[in-house]
Structure 1
Amino acid sequence: MDARRAGETLILIGSVVYASSKIWEDTNFHSSLFDSRQYNLWVLTELHLLAGAAALYIMWLSNSLISSKTITSSLLPDLPSKRPASPRIPEPRETNFKKRTPLMFRKKADFGFVWMSVPRNYRECSDDGILTGLLFGPLVSSALLYSSLTLPPSVSPLPSSWRIEAPRFLNSAKGSYNALEALILSRYNLVDLSNLCSTILLFHVCASWWFESRYRVNGSTLDNERKSVPRSAGKRLGYFVLFTLGTTISMLGIKLGLTEFSLGIWQHLSLLEIIVASSFYQCTLYGTVRLAHRGFTLGELGIVGFGGTALFMEFLNVTAARIWPLTTPYIKTYRVPTPLLIFQTALIAGSFLTGFALSPFLILSRHIGQRPVRRMRNPELKLRQRRLLALGFYIGSFVMTMGLIGMWTYWCLGKRNPWLWVILYILEGRKQWSRPALLIYWAALGSLSVAGWNRQLARSRRFRARNTAGENIIVPGSGGAYDSSLTAPQSSGNSSDTQSGGTGTGAGSALGLTFPNLPNLPHIPNGVATDLLDAADKHVPTLRLNARRKFFHALTVVMFVPGIAFDPAFTHLSFSVAFALFTFAEYVRYFAIYPFGASIHLFMNEFLDQKDGGTAILSHFYLLTGCAGSLWLEGSSPLLLFTGILVLGVGDALASIIGKRVGIHRWSPTTNKTLEGSFAFTLSVVFSSWLLRLFGLTEKFSTLRYTAVIGMSSILEALSDQNDNVTLPLFSFSLLVLVGTS
């Protein structure tokens, strides 16, 4: 195991063990309806067993690599004679080698896979992130449980600064739980659910390893597929359905066995919840890895799958509480059951439901958009067909929103009109203009940013051209360089282009520019007039890709700090609306919905990096979710609510910029993250938190403990290859809850 992988393993496993110890030692919630101390003992047991299983898996995996490397070197004689035990930072001379090396070896041979998935289904990364997928769900759920257990019994679980109606609770025949007791029991259920999902993921990986080993020749494969996975999509789906049924029955059998021997593991999950959660989680894993092709690593897939399963279970429990209010003891939601939770479920779950319901329109639109006009029998009908499909999608989305989704929201709100509720909620702030002012502020910043970048990028594209060999030529300032091998046509008596009154056809036409009254043009760039290049430089953006992406990180700080500071509940709702809008925008982009699909695709394409190599573009989803996570998890203090904004908008952005510009000392040979970048991350976040405190936007906090948590987060950011936009806010939030900052 290389140092980077070992450090990440110690941090994640240590964090889960620390969370379990905090729940056991520092909480003793008193209730006449349940024994929290006994529950905490089994939570401790569950988390320790999961951490131990993760550690054993990593140890077994590291041990098995010894033989696999020997076999790899014998099967690939063209590999370099001396290769390190861990992946290196790619160097220019390795480009050809990477192109001809199979993905299994280029991405390391120790990857885990969901059943019936293959390497090409996952994002290219030096690490599959198995520990992230296994441990992040239990870590976050343990932090939420700890935060509710440490609240005084007389205190409402809803943060005092949130201006929203009081949470709903039930008074049924099975007992009367107050809001805090119901929330604590729900979060015990969440811990059990996270452990169940992690067990299923580990079961998938181990079963996939075992099944693949039966098909390997000499212990390895030499292609981009897995020998145990059939190439037929129908067979893969059939095998996955059978395996899902078998896994669900196995989890049900484990639950029955634990109950038979009076063991409290998974005791807060009913048999029906085991069946539903297990089936839905596995379907989410498979559906996500197939639809968002090459968009996730295994670890990121585990986080997304668990998050989707938790939201789905909340949806079922809210619905059940409305159907059977007299027999349901409490509303089993992992956040406080306010209208914010209902609207978030309707917006996020409803946006995905709409996509599945309207999938025929989406698939046909993409199919027609990809077909060349010359291959169509009636080319003149292509635009008409695209317009009709787009009209069907827009009408269908409107019907789904106003019909099924709107009616469910109306029903869950106690038969209150959701649209009228939102309008009244917007107008009932501290002052009637405060929430409309926030909306105008967000809309203005977002519109100006998108419009400004659209204008700059459009100008930049005018100076990009392709030479006869198909290589890009980019005017300096647009992020690229010239190809010095290109030459302009030499002067000759038969060439009118090089005469005094003509237009150069070499570099000038290649760049899309005309240079009147120019003599013969020698090699680029010396043959192009300096004043013209200077003039062109003023019209194209000079920011590189990394700086362009970090611009949006900084934009989140400017946009959302006022909202979180003055109205976190309204910002919570606004984040949910933004996520739903992003989902519909991705539908329009990927499926080429007329008339906005191409424009959105061209805009998004300018901000893609190596982590956006899949069919779906997910960076903006990650950024939004990371910033909103602290609000959606309902942090108990103002400082916690700012965690996502500070970590991503300030810390991650400055760490990337400082690390690339002045970073020298790398954390390990297998990562490009530097000590200087991590130091900038920690210092900038702590300094920003102090600024918020000086302005009275956060409570007093322990600088030492806060710095220790942010420092640990910066180390994880440096060592982990998973998408830090989603992992860093969750990790920082969980540790801050467990450590305490007051």
Structure 2
Amino acid sequence: MHRRTFTRSRSPAINAGQNGFTFAGQTTSPGNIPSSLFGRQKIAPFEIRHLMPSFIHATFRPPFSSVHWRLTLDLRQTLENSLLICSLGYCATKMRGSILERLPPNLWNARDKLSPEMWISIELALLITASIIYFCVTRIYWTKISPDYDTTTRQATPQERPASPSLIARDNRRASNPVPSPAPRNSNFGFVWMTVPKNYRDSADDGMLFGLLTGPLMSAALLYLSEKAAAASPPLDPLPQSWIIEQPIVLDGSAHPLTALQALVLSRRNLVDMATVCSTILIVHVIASWMTERRHRRKLKVPEGEVSSVPRKESRRTYLSVLFTISVSLWVLCVRIALSEMRLGIWQST
């Protein structure tokens, strides 16, 4: 019996044979899967047309250099990420001093030169900057092209014999609907601490930017709506008219009583700060995973797609995860205290 190798960070390769599924190095009996599933490839009876190309390519040569570089960019990922970044930038612009302060002065530091909305706008701007840097590092593919690339390709390609007459019609049908080339792979994918590639779906997009920007975008939009309602004259009712419920009670016994709308604005400020804190922690996870994996690869040589920094033992992995979680929590707490001592309004609403 042939013994196949199995790694903890990559699932075994599954081949769809004519008679059924087979793992790498193994065969299965013909009766497991009907052969009609993979026996014949279906061809679309019509020509597939795309409105835009899948990838954008640009070739240029740096000054005083004979080497050409080819830049490849996934158009779909670029449009999706640009939509998220521009939406968050629009929210940050709306927060920039356009809404008057509606809370009592004792609920925010009146000695600050900037309002809480301005500090929230700065938080969102810093997050947008980090997202753009991450996009440029992981979504732009650079390929080095030598000057004799074209001539070498022509010489290395062997001359094929003419096709059989019976296959000409089939080849013409297949040529009408070419299959697009797969997306180029980039090794700088973002991983949460102590996770391996088999914990994620196989995709050209790791979903990092969606996770970084979705939470702050939704919380900032809710904050803008509540502040817009507070800035109206008279202030709008925070409860929808279709809700048949009692109005929120104002606690007169507290030192600084808040109305329902003021409490809503304050809670949504806390929500924006919490969302940006979570996004920052996610960035720390990715950077720590990159640095740890790069340090381990200097000592060990692993196959492509494998992760050498994650231990095999579950107890060891759990210990490192708990230790990393406690360290990151203490680091975030120290950063928040330092920002408060420096009289910076970042993360001061939580």
TM range (shorter): 0.5 to 0.7
Whether contact under 8 Å (1:107, 1:124) holds in the other structure is no
- What is the TM-score normalised by the length of structure 2? 0.61
- Structure 2, unaligned stretches of length 5 or more? 1-72, 146-156, 158-177
- The answer to whether 1:54 aligns with 2:135 is no
Whether contact under 8 Å (2:273, 2:349) holds in the other structure is yes
1:196 corresponds to: 277
Could you give the per-residue CA deviations for residues 554-599 of structure 1, whole angstroms, max 9, x where no partner exists?
Answer: xxxxxxxxxxxxxxxxxxxxxxxxxxxxxxxxxxxxxxxxxxxxxx
1:7 to 63, 69, 79: 79
Structure 2 distance, partners of 1:222, 1:45, is 42
Give the 3-state SS of the residue equivalent to 2:123 in structure 1.
Answer: helix
Structure 2 distance, partners of 1:123, 1:60, is 21
Give the 3-state SS of the residue equivalent to 1:214 in structure 2.
Answer: helix
- The answer to whether 1:207 aligns with 2:284 is no
1:166 corresponds to: 247
- The answer to whether 1:138 aligns with 2:216 is yes
2:121 to 44, 53, 61: 44
CA-CA distance at 1:122 after TM superposition: 1.2
Give the 3-state SS of the residue equivalent to 1:176 in structure 2.
Answer: coil
Structure 2 distance, partners of 1:266, 1:48, is 14
Could you give the per-residue CA deviations for residues 76-103 of structure 1, whole angstroms, max 9, x where no partner exists?
Answer: xxxxx9xxxxxxxxx8899xxx9xxxxx
Give the 3-state SS of the residue equivalent to 2:79 in structure 1.
Answer: helix
1:257 to 324, 338, 341: 338
2:259 to 169, 172, 178: 178
CA-CA distance at 1:256 after TM superposition: 1.1
Q: What is the 5 A alignment of 1:641-660?
A: none
Structure 2 distance, partners of 1:139, 1:93, is 34
Whether contact under 8 Å (1:68, 1:220) holds in the other structure is no
Whether contact under 8 Å (2:101, 2:115) holds in the other structure is no
Structure 1 distance, partners of 2:290, 2:301, is 12
Number of corresponding residues: 240
Structure 2 distance, partners of 1:184, 1:205, is 32
Structure 2 distance, partners of 1:129, 1:115, is 15
Q: What is the 5 A alignment of 1:341-490?
A: none
- Structure 1, unaligned stretches of length 5 or more? 70-80, 82-90, 99-104, 270-742
- The answer to whether 1:116 aligns with 2:188 is no
1:16 to 88, 103, 106: 88
Could you give the per-residue CA deviations for residues 649-703 of structure 1, whole angstroms, max 9, x where no partner exists?
Answer: xxxxxxxxxxxxxxxxxxxxxxxxxxxxxxxxxxxxxxxxxxxxxxxxxxxxxxx
CA-CA distance at 1:155 after TM superposition: 2.7
Could you give the per-residue CA deviations for residues 473-530 of structure 1, whole angstroms, max 9, x where no partner exists?
Answer: xxxxxxxxxxxxxxxxxxxxxxxxxxxxxxxxxxxxxxxxxxxxxxxxxxxxxxxxxx
- What is the TM-score normalised by the length of structure 1? 0.30
Distance 1:93 1:174, change over 3 A: closer
2:102 corresponds to: 30
1:157 corresponds to: 238
Structure 2 distance, partners of 1:174, 1:200, is 35
Whether contact under 8 Å (1:144, 1:187) holds in the other structure is yes
Whether contact under 8 Å (1:29, 1:150) holds in the other structure is no
Distance 1:201 1:172, change over 3 A: farther
Could you give the per-residue CA deviations for residues 594-641 of structure 1, whole angstroms, max 9, x where no partner exists?
Answer: xxxxxxxxxxxxxxxxxxxxxxxxxxxxxxxxxxxxxxxxxxxxxxxx
Distance 1:219 1:235, change over 3 A: closer
Distance 1:219 1:38, change over 3 A: farther
Structure 1 distance, partners of 2:238, 2:288, is 42
1:642 corresponds to: none
Q: What is the 5 A alignment of 1:533-682?
A: none
Distance 1:159 1:221, change over 3 A: farther
Whether contact under 8 Å (1:148, 1:180) holds in the other structure is yes
Distance 1:241 1:169, change over 3 A: farther
CA-CA distance at 1:126 after TM superposition: 1.9
CA-CA distance at 1:24 after TM superposition: 2.0
Q: Is the helix fraction higher in 1 or 2?
A: 1
Distance 1:26 1:161, change over 3 A: farther
Whether contact under 8 Å (2:138, 2:188) holds in the other structure is yes
1:548 corresponds to: none
Distance 1:168 1:121, change over 3 A: farther
2:309 corresponds to: 228
2:41 corresponds to: none
CA RMSD of aligned residues (A): 3.2
Which amino acid in the other structure matches residue 247 of structure 1?
V
CA-CA distance at 1:168 after TM superposition: 4.6
CA-CA distance at 1:226 after TM superposition: 0.8
Give the 3-state SS of the residue equivalent to 1:166 in structure 2.
Answer: coil
Q: Is the strand fraction higher in 1 or 2?
A: 2
Structure 2 distance, partners of 1:41, 1:61, is 30
Which amino acid in the other structure matches residue 2 of structure 1?
D
Structure 2 distance, partners of 1:122, 1:228, is 17
Structure 1 distance, partners of 2:143, 2:314, is 32
